[in-house]
Every structure is written in C-alpha cells, then in structure tokens.
Chains A and B, each alone.
Chain A
Amino acid sequence: MSKVEFNKETGPREVFCGLTSIVWLHRRMPDAFFLVVGSRTCAHLIQSAAGVMIFAEPRFGTAILEEKDLAGLADAHEELDRVVNDLIARRPEIKTLFLVGSCPSEVIKLDLATVAEKLNKRFLGQVRFVNYSGSGIETTFTQGEDGALKALIPLMESSNEEKLLLVGTLANNVEDRFKKIFRNLGISNIESFPPRQSTELPKIGKNTKVLLTQPYLSDTVRDLKHRGCEIISAPFPLGIEGSTKWFLAAAKAFKISELKVHEIISPLINRAKLALDSHKEILKGKRLFLLPESQLEISLARFLHNECEMDLIEVGTPYLNKDLMKEEINLLPDNTKIVEGQHVEKQLDRVRESNPDLVVCGMGLANPLEAEGISTKWSIEMVFSPIHGIDQAADLAGLFSKPLKRNQILTSKTLVTH
C-alpha cells in the first residue's frame, strides 16, 4: 500500500442522504417503484435533487408521515397499507415496490420489514415488496444504492453456473460496451445487478464472479460473499488505467491470458489516450480539492492524478472501506491526504487556504465557491453521466476540464458575483 495519509473528521456535513440514489435507481429499473416512508423533507429532497419534475408521474413517491401516524405505530402500519393499496391500484404496472426507510421512520422504529412481508403475501404473484433504509442518519448519498441492492439479494435464486456479474448501476450504453468487450475476451455469460428489469434478477452461487462497477457497495458485497460469490479484487473502471486493471482482474478470474486482454483493449486505449490529450493539456499541474459526497472521490483522484497529471490537495470521502478501496489506494501517489467524514466549515477553511484550481463538491457549495473565484465541478454529475470505461475516459476528464476552460474564457476575476 502506498504511503497515503489517512485522516478522520467529524462535525457538520454537507452531504446528501441515501434517498438521493432513488433518482438513478428508478431510471435503471423502470418496472420498480420507490416509496419513501418519511416526511415532507424527504419528498422535497428527492424532488430538489431530481431537478424538479422531469417526469409526469414519477416512479418514486413519499408516504408523508403526519401527526396522527406518530401517535400510534399500529395506525401508521395501517395507513401505510392504505397508501400502498392506492398506489398499486393507480399504477398496476409496478412489479417491485421498494419501501424505503428514512430518518423519521427509523427513529420511530416503523417496521418496514414486517410491512413488506405482509404485503408480499397479499400481492403474491403481482408485486414484490422489499425494504431498505435510505436514511441520512445511517447512509450517505450513493449508499442508498447499496441498501437497495442488498435488499434484492434474498430474492435472487441460486445457481452454480459460471458467470461474470457486474454489480452497481451503469448507464445502459456503458453496460452494453462492457458486455461486448467481455464477450470479445471470451466471457460469454455476463449479467448485471441491478438488472434493467427488477423482475429479471440474476441467479447467483459459488461460480458467480462479482466485478464491482461502483465503489459504494460494501453491504451488497458482504451479502454476495455470503451467498458464495467470488469477489474479484480490482480498482474501479474509471479512466484508462482503472478500466484496464479492471478488465485484467476479470480476465484473470476467468483464466484468460493478459495477452488476450491487451490484444482486445489496446486499440481502445490508443484511441482513448488521443482523446484524453486535449483535456490533459488543461488539467496538467492544476491543483484539485475533492470534498466528500459521491464516494467516487478516491477513484476520481487516482484518475485525475495518474492520467491527467493534476495535483491532489485533499481527497475527501464520506466514509472509507479500506478493504474495498485497497486496489485504488495502492494506485494513489505517495502522501495523498485522504480525509474521511467531514467538518464542512473546517474543510472549507482548508479549501480557501490551499487556493485550489478546481474543487469537486455538492450543489449547495458550488456557486458560493464560484463566487469566491474558485472553479468547481458538481459531484452529482458523476452519478448521472456515463463515465465508466476506457471509451469514456476523455468524457470523464472533460467534466473537469470544462469548468477550467470556461473560467479561462470568462476571466472570472472581472465578473461581479453575488
């Protein structure tokens, strides 16, 4: 392991909660509905994070707790029953309904597991119910996906068939590219989790080799291991380096020679390097500060330093699973400062003191930093854009070079900001 500096910080945070991941999960599985059991705050959060009203009737909603629901839990369970009945009557096309716990539902100890169990019996053969918590007292931002996937694992049938299982939500086009490359490598049985239809869950077992596409799936990985799956240890497929090592690790697990991998992906690498050059020109030598949010920060730091030659000031991460991130941390330059957790005020002090060229942060902080003359990139864009794989390396770099390029064009110091 490289000599990376680990720090921990606690204090006030500026990070989304796990409910936010519903915004991409419901797009991935169009036959599923996500019903948050929470407060008006939860409904307002998802609506605001989703950019307000893109969908006519979205495939997510909130059962908003009211005063009378807090008075007696029995009544709250009955009320939830009623809301679910109404919802299914209105949306008969729903195949899987996720009951998503929130901060208030966790605090009042609303037992969503029991509710789900009862509903499963009633709607047997029509709708499946699963539950998980996206609460901000237990999860941050992308961890919501971890909860949702973990909740689906018990529904997955067992099979000893040898297969490669890609775990973590990917953009559909990226997923297709990956599958094509793996087939070219000679791996023919490839499935994805989450699948594109919630009812088409992959079967798993001791010959399932799991390759993670996202770094925020600790609980899912643990449960897949319990089901006998083999977890392939690899960095994440961001950038050329990460993707190459990711393909190599998968190939090794399937006893495919390194030579074969290089033969298949070399043309892609050459093409990607060419595309990356113009971005590298802008990013090279620029100083980067990553605030914690999406949990992709460590992989992004590795890509932006190793392939785009940016200097890393500080790499924030909401939480650190050293085991899962081992391969990534090994690739970081010596003396990289990783900070787990957050004290947003102290961290912003460090941002100002270090005078970075670019800060990766959440939407609440971006404009205030821009107004101080600091260029920013919203981290939420990473979870909405197709950024994985060799073919997307230049696009990924482009997300970071664009604000710098724009800053140059506008010479921000002369603009009055409010």
Chain B
Amino acid sequence: MELTLWTYEGPPHVGAMRIASSMKDIHYVLHAPQGDTYADLLFTMIERRGQRPPVTYTTFQARDLGGDTAELVKKNIKEAVERFKPKTLLVGESCTAELIQDQPGALAKGMGFDMPIVNLELPAYSKKENWGASETFYQLTRTLLKEKVSSSDKINPLRWRELGRRPKVNILGPSLLGFRCRDDVIEIQRILSEQGIDTNVVAPLGASPDDIERLIDAEINICLYQEIAEASCDWLKRNFGMEYTNTIPIGIKNTIEFINEVHEKLDLPLTNKEELENKSKLPWYSKSVDSNYLTGKRVFIFGDGTHAIAAAKIAKEELGFEVVGLGTYSREMARQVRATAKDLNVEALITNNYLEVEDAMIKAAPELVLGTQMERHSAKRLGIPCSVISTPMHVQDVPARYSPQMGWEGANVIFDDWVHPLMMGLEEHLIDMFKHDFEFVDGHQSHLGHTATNTNNILNSEEKKGKNSKEGIIWTESGKAELTKVPFFVRGKVKTNTEKYAISRGIPEISDETLYDAKAYFS
C-alpha cells in the first residue's frame, strides 16, 4: 500500500484511453464503474477536445455484482459496436473490474464480430498510465499486423531506391495528453520533408486501424516518444526488420543528431549539414551577450524520461546552465536517466512521490526548475522560477499557439520558455546595483511577479521539517544582515552551508565574518 497525495501518472487504462482517443475508427469498451468516467474530462478539459473519448463504460453497480456482470459487459459491447461501428474494438477493464474477473476481452471475442478485437490486460495494481498506453499501442499494432508477419520479407531500409521514390518513415508515439505532441509532429514532418523524406503514417495521433496496417509501407520508424512507442517499434523491428531511431530531437544537438541518424539508417546523403546549425535562433540567442548571465544558472529537472533527459542535455550544453538535480517518475526509463545524471555528476531521483521531489529541490537550491505541473506548484511555493517541460500538465500547458518542443522551432520555444521566467541579463545587473536602495524591495523582479516575495519559504519550509535550525547555532545581527544581502535564490544554500561550516569548526555564533569564511571554504 502506497500513500499518495498527488500522482504523476494515472492508472494504465487511462493510457489505453489516450491511444483510443488519439485514433480514428476505434472504440474502447471499458468494464468499469461509473466513477471511472472522470477520465473523459482529462481530454475534454485539459486538451479542450470537442469530442468525447470513444469509450463506453459498462457502469456496473454493487447490485450487479451478485448477478451476471458478464451479461452486462456483452450488452454494452453489442450496443457500442452497433452505435459506433468501429473498425477495431478495444476491450479491457479498470482496477475494480480486474478484481471480478469477467474476462471482457474473451467475452467480446466470443460474440462473433468480424472486426479485429484487441483484448487489453492492463494490471491496474502494478502498472501505470504510460505503460498502459505503450502496451495498448503495441497490442493494437500486433493484432492488426500479425497476419502479415510470415508473408512479408524483412524490410530493407534502402528499398526506396529500387522503388524509385523518396524514402518513407512512420512517426510513432505522439498521443493526446502527451506534452506538445500535436506541434512536435508538425515540426518533425517539416524537417523530414525538407530533407526529402516522406511521412507514411503518424500514429497513434490521428491514425485509423487502416493506417496501422500500412505501417510496413515505410522503410523505418521514428520513435518519437519512447514511453509510448518503443515496445511497438521493437516488435516491428523483430518481425519486419524495420529499423527505428533512438535520438529524441529535442534541442539543437539532438535534432542534428536525429537528422544524421535518419539519414544513416536510410543511407540517404545529408547535403545541408552546414545549414542545420542556423535553422534555430537558440544557438545565437544563447551566444548573444545578454545571455552571459545564464552561465552556471542552477537548474533542477524532473519529468517523464524523454523530456527530462533532453532538458538536461540542452541545459548543460546549449544554455550553459549547471544541472543540480535530475529525476523522473518514469521507472521504465530509470536506467537512461541514471546514465544521464551520472554524466552530469548528480544523483538521479527516481520517484513517484512529489514530496520527495520537493525535498530534493529545496536541497539543490536551484535558480530555475524545469518540471511538471507538480514541480510548478512546489517551485511557486518556494519562490523559484519554473517552466513546465513534461506531463502531467494543466490546461495552460496546451497553448493555442504553435509551440513544439522538438526540432528547430522547439528549440526557439524552449529558449523563450526557460529563460523568460528568469530575470533578464541587464535586469539582473541593475537589481544587483540598486539592491541597497531604499526603494528596493526584496523579490522585486518583473518576471517573477509576486511569487518571489516569499523567498523566506526556502528557510521556513526547511525549518518546519526540523532539518535546519542546527542546535546551538546562533546568527548574530551582523550575520543575519549579511545573509539578507545574499541573492534570494541561493540564500537557502548559503545558510545551510554556513551552519554546516560553523558546526564542523565548533563556532557557536555566526557573524558576517563566519559567513565569508564559509563562503571561501566551500568555493
């Protein structure tokens, strides 16, 4: 049993809903009680979808449990098929139905429909949303393509030459309730098309079962979000020999590496290598003098595996930040996140508990947080600027404007979204110059609004948990005065370090001089 206050991921059947809702001509009959219908609002409210998810909930009640819930399942399947006429039917159960073991998938298969039926078994008590989405997409792909396995030769990625046409690829992984998927797809298609590469199918977003059956018309697969598509890409590789890409094109370096990888896999010569660096404004914006102040900004990163790893690379190599924390809630990608963290000399945080993330954030004393909706709230409480880079997200993270994370435009969006919450370079200098002016109010930064005024939260929240206030240590007036002159975003760290130093030296009182001694000691 795990105590959860807020959860990063929903249950696995919500992952299945993401696949079903992303696609056309699919219907999902979910054996579930009425309360589970809440999941519809994730799509209609957060994504502002104008269509209901294609889901029928069997809505069994306590009084049905003594009777024949299996009949109820069959009735709902029959009605759903008659009403929605799907080309493929998904059948599964949510957590409660899993316990009563009606086997809805098997029931559906015995009803004599001629459409393909995918029986989804998503263990609700051990797995979570992204796993459910991945498994659903995989089962769907497998069901629709398994008959073609033996009859098909392995796909040669170079066959486009013999066929006398441009190479074709599939873009796999984008789904509803993913982070900026809609715009990433447009950006990646644009990049590929510029390189003379056609998109065969985008799936699951916008695809129909017919499209899934045509996946094998492409030479290779672009695995855009590993959380959702890697299992399917892997199956397509094993059974049809289709190669797939490993590079996630977020950030300039990764986008260029991605383009290289696609060209290598297709044996297509890359003719515009020199141009690529100039496709996005990020490299120049990052180099321009105002960005000098970004050097060494302490950044804390937490999100799904794909976005957290990409963010760490951009932060360090493209913006010159210092990554002081990196973590993910995607246990499936823990290994990769750990590897990235190791390269950055930080310890990876793999957890599903947002309070642990908040604690790690406090300890790391970052100047910028890149996280999910949860970290936005934590950062807000701590008065630290934050940008959201990953799901779970809020309605405001589904913007009306084009704002991908991937490719050239994605890099532009990232530069703006990450840098704007910080003080601009010139502004930082001015604040530093005028901070002893009587009109200066601590936390008076135009880009932080009112949230930064509670900077003492860093200290208070630590004290509340009894992790600070080291016994016997007293701050003298001069020490306190000097501490207030330390920029707010590192004040927590400076306080902790100074106290640590004082204890190690047996100094009972911290004066301004102790503070400088500690500063020298730790630098």
Q: Which of B4, B392, B394 contacts A43 (CB 8 A)?
A: B4
State whether A138 touches B4 (Cβ < 8 A).
no
User: Complex: how many Å from CA A135 to CA B349?
Assistant: 34
A residues 81-115 near B (Cβ < 8 Å) are 82-83, 86-87, 103-104, 106-108
State whether A108 touches B99 (Cβ < 8 A).
yes
Q: Shortest beta-carbon distance, A405 to chain B, in Å?
A: 21
Q: Give every chain B residue within 8 A of A44 (Cβ-Cβ).
A: 7, 10-11, 14, 38-39
Q: Which of A43, A103, A372 contacts B96 (CB 8 A)?
A: A103
Q: Which of A6-14, A308-316, A323-331, A384-392 contacts B (4 or more CB under 8 A)?
A: A6-14
Known A-B contacts A41-B124, A44-B14, A364-B44; A136 and B36 likewise in contact (beta carbons under 8 Å): yes
Q: Give every chain B residue within 8 A of A45 (Cβ-Cβ).
A: 35-36, 38
Q: Which of A58, A64, A65, A368 contacts B52 (CB 8 A)?
A: A368
User: Complex: how many Å from CA A89 to CA B153?
Assistant: 63
- Is B285 an interface residue when CB atoms closer than 8 A count as contact? no
State whether A64 touches B2 (Cβ < 8 A).
yes
Known A-B contacts A15-B37, A40-B7, A61-B3; A53 and B377 likewise in contact (beta carbons under 8 Å): yes
Q: Which residue of B lies closest to A64 (CB)?
A: B2
State whether B377 touches A56 (Cβ < 8 A).
yes
- Is A366 an interface residue when CB atoms closer than 8 A count as contact? yes
Q: Give every chain A residue within 8 A of B125 (Cβ-Cβ).
A: 39, 65-67, 69-70
User: Complex: how many Å from CA A372 to CA B52?
Assistant: 11
State whether B95 touches A40 (Cβ < 8 A).
yes
Q: Which residue of A lies closest to B377 (CB)?
A: A53
State whether A41 touches B10 (Cβ < 8 A).
yes
State whether A57 touches B5 (Cβ < 8 A).
yes
State whether B3 touches A368 (Cβ < 8 A).
no
Q: Which residue of A lies closest to B14 (CB)?
A: A44
Q: Give every chain A residue within 8 A of B145 (Cβ-Cβ).
A: none
State whether B96 touches A364 (Cβ < 8 A).
no
State whether B34 touches A64 (Cβ < 8 A).
no
Q: Give every chain B residue within 8 A of A67 (Cβ-Cβ).
A: 123, 125-126
User: Complex: how many Å from CA A345 to CA B58?
Assistant: 12
State whether B373 touches A53 (Cβ < 8 A).
yes
State whether A64 touches B49 (Cβ < 8 A).
no
Q: Shortest beta-carbon distance, B136 to chain A, in Å?
A: 16
- Is A137 an interface residue when CB atoms closer than 8 A count as contact? yes
Q: Give every chain B residue within 8 A of A57 (Cβ-Cβ).
A: 5, 355
Q: Which residue of B lies closest to A17 (CB)?
A: B35
- Is A80 an interface residue when CB atoms closer than 8 A count as contact? yes
State whether A364 touches B59 (Cβ < 8 A).
no
Chain B residue total in the interface (Cβ 8 A):
59
State whether A12 touches B57 (Cβ < 8 A).
yes
Q: Which of B60-68, B403-411, B434-442, B474-482 contacts A (4 or more CB under 8 A)?
A: B60-68
State whether A56 touches B381 (Cβ < 8 A).
yes
User: Complex: how many Å from CA A11 to CA B78?
Assistant: 12
- Is B56 an interface residue when CB atoms closer than 8 A count as contact? yes
- Is A218 an interface residue when CB atoms closer than 8 A count as contact? no
Known A-B contacts A58-B6, A67-B126, A103-B95; A137 and B60 likewise in contact (beta carbons under 8 Å): yes
State whether A14 touches B373 (Cβ < 8 A).
no
Chain A residue total in the interface (Cβ 8 A):
66
Q: Shortest beta-carbon distance, B51 to chain A, in Å?
A: 6
Known A-B contacts A13-B34, A15-B34, A39-B11; A104 and B95 likewise in contact (beta carbons under 8 Å): yes
- Is A232 an interface residue when CB atoms closer than 8 A count as contact? no
Count A-B pairs with CB separation below 8 Å: 196
User: Complex: how many Å from CA A367 to CA B42?
Assistant: 11
State whether B99 touches A70 (Cβ < 8 A).
yes
Known A-B contacts A13-B37, A44-B10, A52-B394; A64 and B51 likewise in contact (beta carbons under 8 Å): no
Q: Give every chain A residue within 8 A of B433 (Cβ-Cβ).
A: none
- Is B76 an interface residue when CB atoms closer than 8 A count as contact? yes
State whether B2 touches A66 (Cβ < 8 A).
yes
* Best-surrounded residue of B1, B48, B374 (most CB of chain A within 10 A): B1
* Best-surrounded residue of A12, A76, A106 (most CB of chain B within 10 A): A12
State whether A61 touches B5 (Cβ < 8 A).
yes
Q: Which residue of B lies closest to A57 (CB)?
A: B5
Known A-B contacts A44-B10, A137-B96, A140-B34; A368 and B50 likewise in contact (beta carbons under 8 Å): yes
Q: Shortest beta-carbon distance, A140 to chain B, in Å?
A: 7
State whether A104 touches B99 (Cβ < 8 A).
yes
* Best-surrounded residue of A11, A14, A41, A66 (most CB of chain B within 10 A): A41
State whether B51 touches A371 (Cβ < 8 A).
yes
State whether A40 touches B124 (Cβ < 8 A).
yes
Q: Give every chain B residue within 8 A of A60 (Cβ-Cβ).
A: 5
- Is A47 an interface residue when CB atoms closer than 8 A count as contact? yes
User: Complex: how many Å from CA A61 to CA B123?
Assistant: 22
State whether B38 touches A49 (Cβ < 8 A).
yes
A residues 340-372 near B (Cβ < 8 Å) are 345, 362-368, 370-372
State whether B1 touches A63 (Cβ < 8 A).
yes
State whether B37 touches A58 (Cβ < 8 A).
no
Q: Shortest beta-carbon distance, A112 to chain B, in Å?
A: 13
- Is A31 an interface residue when CB atoms closer than 8 A count as contact? no
A residues 24-63 near B (Cβ < 8 Å) are 38-45, 47-49, 52-53, 56-58, 60-63
Q: Shortest beta-carbon distance, B47 to chain A, in Å?
A: 9
User: Complex: how many Å from CA A60 to CA B64?
Assistant: 30
User: Complex: how many Å from CA A20 to CA B34?
Assistant: 12
User: 9 A-B contacts, Cβ less than 8 Å apart?
Assistant: A17-B34, A17-B38, A40-B4, A40-B95, A44-B39, A62-B3, A63-B3, A135-B33, A418-B49
Instruction: Write the residues of chain B forming the contact surface with A, with a CB cutoff of 8 angstroms.
Output: 1-7, 9-11, 13-14, 33-42, 44-45, 48-52, 56-62, 64-65, 76, 79, 83, 94-96, 99-100, 123-126, 128, 355, 373-374, 377-378, 381, 392, 394
The 5 lowest CB-CB distance pairs between A and B, nearest first, are A17-B35, A371-B50, A136-B35, A364-B40, A79-B1
- Taking A17-B38, A364-B44 as known contacts, 13 extra A-B pairs with beta carbons closer than 8 A to each other, sorted by chain A number, are A13-B57, A15-B34, A39-B125, A52-B6, A56-B377, A57-B355, A62-B7, A66-B1, A70-B99, A107-B99, A137-B96, A367-B49, A368-B52
